[in-house]
């Protein structure tokens, strides 16, 4: 029922071809990684609690095939600390763990999604006990990026206003500890902000309409 509901949501927002492609990957990925991350959230429940979501986008997880393509392309296992900004139910974090990266963090504004992420992370912790996981229920605009983060993942979590603030936080972290930074940006609607901050787009992939992403790098 969960997959069927999500399928019709995708059809109504995109088209049947994209919906079928994504659902096939949903069923495969949820089984492969043993997690429960399928579905969408319009975040209206946050607005009812007085939390400003005017700059946020709805929650949808990145398609499993896109995650695997991008993580393989950049050789994720070569990085030290992976951070998912707007991590939702922690799908990208759990997939990243399978690439044997040793430190994985996530930040999520919604308490409900944060709680779901904790459950999924618990599954990955059992599979990958040597991986260090950390997740924060916080606003990305005010979040301090740890000084050892060298790979950041985003699935179009917010608009240009919040993206600009997040990029300033990343720059502050780089000033504290000069290092290379790689950003995987799925559905990169605000990529002009990354280009403004001196990032170079080194890889772009797209299959079907809307299923796309880019890798950006800034060298020290």
Instruction: Residue 129: give its domain's CATH number.
Output: 3.40.50.150
State residue 151's pLDDT score. 98
Model confidence band, residue 55 (pLDDT cutoffs 50, 70, 90): very low
Q: What is the pTM of this model?
A: 0.93
107 to each of 83, 118, 179, how far by Cα in Å?
Answer: 8, 11, 21
Dist. CA 62–CA 37, nearest whole Å: 10
Q: pLDDT tens, 56-98?
A: 557 789 999 999 999 999 999 999 999 999 999 999 999 999 9
Q: pLDDT tens, 94-115?
A: 999 999 999 999 999 999 999 9
Contacts from 189-193 at CB under 8 Å and sequence distance 24+? 189/156, 190/156, 190/159, 190/160, 190/163, 191/216, 192/160, 193/160, 193/163, 193/164, 193/167
156 to each of 6, 100, 191, 213, how far by Cα in Å?
Answer: 19, 25, 10, 10
Model confidence band, residue 187 (pLDDT cutoffs 50, 70, 90): very high
Contact 187, 163 (CB under 8 A): no
Residue numbers of the domain that contains 76: 2-218
Domains identified in the chain, total number:
1
């Amino acid at each position: 029922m969960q997959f069927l509901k999500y399928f019709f949501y995708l059809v109504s927002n995109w088209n049947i071809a994209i919906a079928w492609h994504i659902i096939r990957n949903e069923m495969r990925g949820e089984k492969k990684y043993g997690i429960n991350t399928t579905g969408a959230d319009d975040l209206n429940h946050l607005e009812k609690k007085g939390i400003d979501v005017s700059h946020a986008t709805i929650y949808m997880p990145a398609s499993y095939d896109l995650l695997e393509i991008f993580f393989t392309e950049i050789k994720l296992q070569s990085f030290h600390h992976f951070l998912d900004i707007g991590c939702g139910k922690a799908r990208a974090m759990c997939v990243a763990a399978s690439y044997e990266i040793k430190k994985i963090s996530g930040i999520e504004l919604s308490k409900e999604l944060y709680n779901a992420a904790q459950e999924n992370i618990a599954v990955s912790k059992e599979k990958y006990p040597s991986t260090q996981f950390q997740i924060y229920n916080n606003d990305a605009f005010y979040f301090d990026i740890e000084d050892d983060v060298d790979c950041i993942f985003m699935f179009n979590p917010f608009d240009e206003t919040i993206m600009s603030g997040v990029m300033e936080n990343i720059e502050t972290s780089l000033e504290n500890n000069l290092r290379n930074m790689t950003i995987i940006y799925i559905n990169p609607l605000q990529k002009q902000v990354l280009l403004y901050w001196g990032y170079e787009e080194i890889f772009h992939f797209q299959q079907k309409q809307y299923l796309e992403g880019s890798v950006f790098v800034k060298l020290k």
